Structures are given as C-alpha cells and as structure tokens.
Amino acid sequence: MKRIFALILAIFIWFSAVSTALAENTTLVPCYKSPAFVERMKNAPDSYYTTKPLKAYSQLLCGEDGLPRIALDRLSLAVDVAIPIAIFLYTAGFIGWSGRSYLQAIKKQDKAEEKEVFIDVPLFISCMVMALFWPMAVIKELLAGELVAKDEEIPISVR
C-alpha cells in the first residue's frame, strides 16, 4: 500500500503543472535612468577617482537607492565571475601542491618528522617555485600514474 501511494504521489508531482519562473528583475533599471544615481553623479566631487567609476557604473543596473547591482543571470558577466574563481583555484592549488611536494621531499630524507616542525626553508622555497607550475605537474603525474594510489595499495577492511 505504501509503495502504491508513493508511486501515485511521484506521478502526481511529476505531472503537476508548474509555470516556469522567469528571471526578469523588474526593480532594477539602467543606472543612467535612475534618479537616485543621477543625483549621486551630480553631488560627487569632480575628480578622476569618482567620474571614471561613475561613468562605468552608469552602464550597469541600479536599485531604487541608486547603487549599482550586478545581475548574474546572463553570460555577459560570466568573465567577471570566472576570473576571480580561476585565481582562487590556482592559489589554492599552489598552496596545496607546494605543501604536498615539501612533505614528499622530506619523506625521502632522514629526520622527516623533525623537518615537518622545523621547516627546511631552502627546500620549501624550491618546492614553492616548482608549485608555480602545478597544473602541468598534475597532468604529468596523472598520466604517469603517480598522482592517484593503485587499487592494490588501498586497504579494504572486512566488516
């Protein structure tokens, strides 16, 4: 009985008619048409640091308060979002790869535990320089089979 009820409920939800929501924003207007933004432009001091940004902001959409908003519902601003994401991912990968390569390098030396606490600065700097090219190093190690562990090396516990 529960399975039949669940099936009927799933079919009802599947075929229920829900109108598509459009991503139109009716509260935002172009900044050059916003009275509050035009007032801000008139009251702004006449200098390079205020007129240039305000001219650039006039192409964006503004709210009722006259402040520009960036609506990310189109692909026209995708680059503005993708660049910071790429910088973040590169930086995070750089930090992780430099630490990984340092730990692998000290593992081959004697007193590895001591060098985890007291960092060998010349070795770490060389690891950081090599980590600048971490995307290429990832591809190289992935193709060589050094990046991921083999199935035989992964222990499986019997439960």
What pLDDT is recorded for position 36? 92
Report the SS3 class of residue 157.
Answer: coil
Residue 120 in tokens: 């060998």
Domains in the chain with CATH codes: 29-69 (no CATH), 78-148 (1.10.8.110)
Question: Token match 């060389």: residue?
Answer: 126
Which phi and psi angles does 74 have, rounded to 5°? -130, 170
pLDDT band at 22 (very low <50, low <70, confident <90, very high): low
Digit-coded pLDDT (tens) for 30-42? 999 999 999 988 8
Query: Whole-angstrom Cα distance, residue 8 to residue 5?
Result: 5
pLDDT at 3 over 90: no
Indicate the helix (H) or strand (E) that contains 82.
Answer: helix 78-107
Query: Whole-angstrom Cα distance, residue 83 to residue 16?
Result: 40
What average pLDDT does the structure give for the chain? Answer: 87
What pLDDT is recorded for position 86? 96
Digit-coded pLDDT (tens) for 61-85? 888 888 988 777 667 777 888 899 9
pLDDT band at 24 (very low <50, low <70, confident <90, very high): low
Angle (CA) 102-104-108 rounded to 5° is 110
Which phi and psi angles does 78 have, rounded to 5°? -65, -35
Closest CA to 55 of 65, 70, 44: 44
Digit-coded pLDDT (tens) for 105-155? 999 998 889 999 999 999 999 999 999 999 999 999 999 988 888 888 888
* Mean per-residue pLDDT, 1-18: 80
Closest CA to 71 of 34, 19, 26: 26
